[in-house]
Structures are given as structure tokens and as C-alpha cells.
Chains A and B, each alone.
Chain A
Amino acid sequence: MKLGLVIDLDTCVGCHACAVACKQWNTSGTTGPLSDYDAYGKEPSGVWFNRVRHYEVDDFPNSKTINTPMSCMHCEDAACVTVCPTGASYKREEDGIVLVDQSKCMGCNLCAWACPYGARELDEEDGVMKKCTLCVDRIHDKNLPEAERQPACVMTCPSNARHFGDFDDPESNVSTLVRERGGYSMMPELGYEPTNKYLPPRQRPAAPTVERKAATSGESLIGKWMKRQKDAFNNLGKGAR
């Protein structure tokens, strides 16, 4: 089994609900707490397993806003596990989930240095590294109804932009989505073979704007106005007849 997420950049609206649901579930779960520092002060910060960032791709008028939720990619060749000197970081053989055994971690930060995706964060209060567990304490819980055996972020996503499944099964929902929508990996050139995949935005006709209409007709607004005036001038006196 190779469990992971597919995140649809076409439908993600960037609401941060996945990040909040993740924080809620995991801070009270088996890996918690996800410590906060200065939570009600001027500079609140803390540990998050999932962070959403917002980008603008291409230039106006072809620009598009992209929201990218990012958490652990559960890489097949996970450098964070290789560099770990204590054996606290490990990748589960049965489902490919990368986890931290907090009782073994010495807080040296080397795994966070090795991770290109910013998936690992040091909990300054506990002094150990923490990261996305793919909600390992939900997805295998036989006490939950089968439909709820999914990561908290996937369950909560209001635009259905997050999908959880087994990439080893070619007919699973995630494998199908990646195949049909051209799912890709982030920063593949580093060779860590991230399991999580992202679906690119669908190609749609550009939304009409005043500027775009002028641009597609090959003339500027002023050029059009001048042409109208010229035509009106040439037609002077003709219309009266």
C-alpha cells in the first residue's frame, strides 16, 4: 500500500479549512499537542502540519490565483528518514507513511533541513520534531464508520479538492485522478519521489474583461474610439440624404 493525497489546484479555494482541521485533530491526537507560542499575543505562532500558501501565476490579463495546501508528501525516497541519526524518523513498510517517534527524537533539526517541502516543524516546547501523520490514528481506526476513515483535512475540505487513497492500486480514486487530470509532483528534480500529487488547473476560456475584449480585437480602446470618430467624420452629410 502507498497511501497519500491528491490535491486539486483547480478547485482549491484557499480557505485554510484543511489546515485548521488538521491542527484540531492532531493537537488532541496521538502526536499532539501541536504547541502554540504567544497564542493570544501580538505574534502568535506555533506548529502546523499543513500550511496553505497563495500564488499568482502568469501576468495580467492571463494571471490566475493558485492556492497550494502543503503537508508531508510521504516521499518514496524520504531524505528526512535517511539523515535521521537517532532512528526517530521512519517510513512504514505497510502503507508508506513517514512518521516521527517522538520518544526517540533529539531535536537536531537535520530532517527539517533535508525536507524540501517544509513538512517538518520543531515543537519548541516539547523539543521534538513533528509532522503530518496522514492521520494514521483515523485512517486505520476500525471504530470509525468506513466513510470517515480518512485524514481530517480530506474530510473537511468544502470544495472537495483533497483526495485520499492508495497509489499502489491503479484503479483507486487517487490513481485515476492523477491519470486523468495529469497529476504532478512538486520539485521532482530533487528526486525524493513525493507520493502526494497535485492536479493542475483545468484549461478554461479566459473570463471576459473590458481589457481582454480590446486586446483580442487587436485594437486598443482609444484606437477603436478614433476609428468610430473617423467613420462618423467620413459619413458626415451622407446620412442626411
Chain B
Amino acid sequence: MHPALSVIFFTVTAGAGYGLLFLLGLLRLLGLAPDISPDQLVAMGLIGLLLVTAGLLSSTLHLANPKNAWRAFTRFRTSWLSREAVFAVAFYPVALLWLACEWFTGNTAATVFFGILMALLAVVVLICTGMIYATLKTIRQWHTALTPVNFVLLGLFPGTLILSVMLAQQGLMFEPMARLVLVLLVIAALVKVIYFYWIGQPAGPTINTALGFTRATVRLLDVGHASDTFHNKEFGYQVDRIRIIWLRGVSIVLAFVLPLLLIGGLLGEVGFGMLLLAVISAYAGVFVERWLFFAEARHVVNLYHGMQRT
């Protein structure tokens, strides 16, 4: 699949924003930063909303006809993209109510309630994003339960890391938070590695089932068009095997290994500088991971263009 930068930026940035707001909404409940003041919390919340908004605006850039984007709220019953749009927009009033409660009343029952509701919505949006891809039977690399799990974890992990940086900068970073970041890092890394092995197994339609000639070899003689078509440009994107393996390594090292080295040895005494480096590295790593998510996906239309299997 053609990796569209607007969609990669959207899923990575908004994902991290939702991850950040998820934990922020539960921060008081979990008691991870007991000394945090309402204005600190509100400032961090606004940064989270900024990430989410930047991502959502970027997502409209890949639309060929954005003036009809408002219609995307109308098919909630069947379309995961519509569900994502509805929940992403429903997220704002809840997040703003939570911010208002925090700002005006501090830590009250209403704050906790809206905090939990916001955290819930943040995860639901991440699941919806993942499900848009996971429901496509035409792309076996996406049609797996690992896809939404990946989207959730790779939102939560960088989001939590960004929150840690802000807490460290305010002198509020304590060991339980560092432990949480490490746990999320390890789980996210594990699921991503499982995903890479999972999609390595050949499965699904072949050129034979695509054409209905299952008892003999089938070869493409002539694709029928002289220059690029919509399908070539959208689905024909291919990266060679060596580069993919190399980039997988880069994404794993940047997203997980480097942050682990930067913060893993510092349990109990986590520095702001190290955490900032870890955030930059993790963001770059998840960006490469998302690029690969698209670049490695092979649509079944390619079978009609001569690919033997996807």
C-alpha cells in the first residue's frame, strides 16, 4: 500500500495524544503523581489535545473531497471510519469538561468521572482506528486482531512517555510512573514482534483463486494498461525485502530498545534529558513502524497485476 504521510502523521501523533490523555484522565485515580496541581494537569491536558487536533487535521489532508468530510459522521452503524470520526469528535466536549472540572474544582468526584470517561473514549478511538484496517479482508497483513492491539499499545506507550517527560520537567516524576512506562514498552514491543512474525506466514488468496484457475500455474501476460493506474499508485507500492528487514530493525531499536536503555537503568531517579531523548527516539521509531505498516501491506488487487501471492 502507498504510505501516505498525512495518514502516518495522523495515526502516530493523534495516537500519542490519546495515549497521553488516557493516562492523564486516570492520573488522580491511580495516584501516580499525587502532588500535581490543577494548573499543571490542565496544561498537560491542553498539550495532549494539541497533539490530537494536529493529527485529526492532518487526517483530512488525504481526502480528495474534504468538503463532504462532515458526512463521515452518518454511517456509525456499519463503518469503523465513521465510528472513529464520531468518537474523535465526542472526545472533545468530554475532555474539555474534564479540564474545566479540574481547573475550577480540583480533585472532585466530577473530575474523576469525566477523567474516566475521557480515558475510555481515548482507547475507543484508538480501537476504531485499528479496526478500520483490521476489517479489510483484502489486506491479510492488516486483517488480524493484532492490528487494533498494536494501535492501542503504540498510542499508550508514546503517550505515557510524553507524560513522563512533562512530569519530570515539573519535578513530579516518581518510580511507579517509570515502571508503568517500562511495562507498556515491553508489551508494545512484544506485540509488534509477534505481528512481524505473524504476517510472515503466507496466507489468503493467490493468483490462482483470484482468477479461478486452481489446477495449473497462472502467469500474467499483459496487464492491459500502458501507464500507471489508480490501482498501481494506491496498491502497487513495493519495498524490497532487505530494506524492509533493515527498517524493521530501525523501528524496533528507535521505538523500544533505545528508550529502554535511556530510562531502564534510571528507575527511581529518572532525568528529564534522558526522557526527552527517549520520547524523540520513540516517536521516530513509531513513525517508521507506521510507515512499514502501510508499505508492507499487500492488497489482493496486486494478484491481478501478476503477483503470485500476497
Chain A residues with CB under 8 Å of chain B are 16, 42-45, 47-48, 51-59, 62, 65-66, 68, 70, 79, 81-88, 103-110, 112-118, 121-122, 124, 126-128, 184-191, 198, 200
- Over the window 180-207 of chain B, the binary record of Cβ atoms lying under 8 Å from chain A Cβ atoms (1 yes, 0 no) is 0000000000000000000000001100
Interface assignment of B108: CB less than 8 Å from any CB of chain A: no
Return B210 CB to nearest CB of chain A, in Å: 5
Contact among B66, B75, B212, B228 for A184, CB-based, below 8 A? B212
Q: Which of B51-79 contact A (CB under 8 A)?
A: 62-69, 71-75, 78-79
Residues of B within 8 Å of A57, CB to CB, are 211, 213, 216-218
Question: Does B240 make an interface contact (CB < 8 A)?
Answer: no
In whole angstroms, how far apart are the Cα atoms of A47 and B226 in the complex? 13
How long is the Cα–Cα vector from A186 to B275 in the complex, in angstroms? 53
User: Which residue, of B79, B135, B216, has the highest number of chain A Cβ atoms within 10 A?
Assistant: B79
Contact (Cβ within 8 A) A85 B211: no
A113 touches B72 (CB 8 A): no
Residues of B within 8 A of A52 (CB): 224
Is B225's CB within 8 Å of the partner chain A?
Answer: yes
A45-B229, A55-B219 given; A85·B224 CB < 8 A: no
Q: Are B209 and A189 in contact (CB under 8 A)?
A: yes
**Is B91 interfacial (CB-CB < 8 Å)?**
no
User: Other CB < 8 Å A-B pairs besides A58-B217, A105-B68, A116-B210, 7 of them?
Assistant: A43-B228, A59-B217, A83-B135, A88-B71, A106-B68, A121-B231, A188-B209
User: Can you pick out 5 interface pairs between chain A and chain B where the beta carbons lie within 8 Å of each other?
Assistant: A47-B230, A56-B218, A66-B213, A85-B82, A187-B205
Decide yes or no: A104 and B71 within 8 Å by CB, A54-B221, A58-B216 being known contacts: yes
**Pair A122/B222 contact, Cβ less than 8 Å:** no
Closest to A115 in B: B138
CB atoms of B210 and A186 under 8 A apart: yes
A54 and B78 contact, CB distance less than 8 A? no
A108, B63: Cβ atoms closer than 8 Å: yes
Is the beta-carbon distance between B75 and A105 smaller than 8 angstroms?
A: no
What does the 1/0 interface line of B157-185 toward A look like (CB < 8 Å)? 00000000000000000000000000000
CA distance A4 to B139 in the complex (A): 26
Contact A70 B304 (CB under 8 A): yes
> A45-B225, A56-B218 are known contacts. Are A86 and B210 too (CB-CB below 8 A)?
no
Residues in chain A near residue B204, CB distance under 8 A: 189
Contact (Cβ within 8 A) B299 A107: no
Contact in complex: B230, A190 (CB < 8 Å): no
CB distance from B160 to the nearest CB of A (A): 30
- Using known A-B contacts A68-B211, A106-B72, determine if residue A84 contacts B79 with beta carbons closer than 8 Å: yes
Nearest opposing residue in chain B for A69, CB measure: B224
Within 8 A of A (CB), among B230-250: 230-231, 234-235
> Do the beta carbons of B75 and A190 come within 8 Å of each other?
no
| Cβ–Cβ < 8 Å partners of A198 in chain B | 212
Chain B residues within an 8 Å CB radius of A104: 68, 71
- Evaluate contact between A86 and B75: CB separation under 8 angstroms: yes
Partner of A106, one of B63, B80, B228, B235: B63
Asked if B277 CB lies within 8 Å of chain A CBs, one says no
A103 to B228, alpha carbons, bound, how many Å? Answer: 27
Residues from chain B with a CB closer than 8 A to the CB of A70 are 304
Most buried by A among B69, B71, B217: B71
Q: B136 contacts A113, CB within 8 Å? A: yes
Give complex CA distance A52, B304 in Å. Answer: 10
- How far in angstroms is the closest Cβ of chain A from B22? 24
A22 → B minimal CB distance (Å): 13
Instruction: State whether A55 touches B81 (Cβ < 8 A).
Output: no
The answer to whether residues A45 and B205 also contact, given A107-B64, A127-B64 and a CB cut-off of 8 A, is: no
B223 within 8 A of A: yes
B300 within 8 A of A: yes
**B228 x A56 contact (CB < 8 A):** no
Nearest CB in chain A: distance from B229 CB, A: 6
